[in-house]
Amino acid sequence: MSLPARPYDLLIFDWDGTLADSIGQIVRSMQIAIAELGWDARSDLEIGQLIGLGLSDGLYKLYPGIGQPQVNELLGCFRQQWMALGTGQAEAPLFAGAEEVLHDLFDAEYVLTVATGKSRAGLNRALVWHRGVRDLFMASRTADETADKPNPLMLLQLLGELKVPISRALMIGDTEYDSAMAAAIGMDCIGVATGVHDASRIQRAGAIAVLDSVRALPEWLGARV
């Protein structure tokens, strides 16, 4: 008797807050940059709630009415602080167990990709540092090379590049932006409760379930067979 087919072939991962434990470093870097430039203060919560969007889009929401020169100034200072706060590595660590999960899924012949609000340069730096996982991903899209979340363009581009139908793909992320992006094109999304948005917020945006962390993904996928 043949085994039932699994429901997904393509797994699309967000990076910050999903695979990488980077929320604290992002918030601290932005707070230092804001203070250094003398901009009006923003709370950790206000900054954190925008993680998952591209940095430029997030700053326009954080400081409505600012122009591109001001965005570029704050982004430049933020990136300097990000590098300075890295404990000898300048890149945030992966969550415990995330690397093992990615290898297990790769060995199980899932196609792994990334769809992130990071810049291309930022994702490339992270993948160079996390060399243990960089060759597991078949493709990726970043916010500065396509439309930012929750616009689903980056998902559509990944599907087109890899020739996978929407019904065979799963988005995995920690924010409502990930859920809404997937829901916009009828793609399933699983949330993880390791980022900045709580489980109810992620589910209201369209996630079909929220896991404690990405470590629970293989077991969840196994139950879907």
In a domain, 2, yes or no: no
Same-domain check for residues 185 and 215: yes
Q: What percent of the chain shows pLDDT beyond 70?
A: 95
In a domain, 105, yes or no: yes
Same-domain check for residues 17 and 35: no
Range of the domain at 37: 23-85
Domain total in the chain: 2
Can you give the pTM of this predicted structure?
A: 0.88
The tens digit of pLDDT for each residue in 158-203 reads 999 999 999 999 999 999 999 999 999 999 999 999 998 999 999 9
Q: How far does the chain reach from its first CA to its final CA, in angstroms? A: 15
Let me know the angle formed at the C-alpha of 167 by 112 and 49, rounded to the nearest 5 degrees: 65
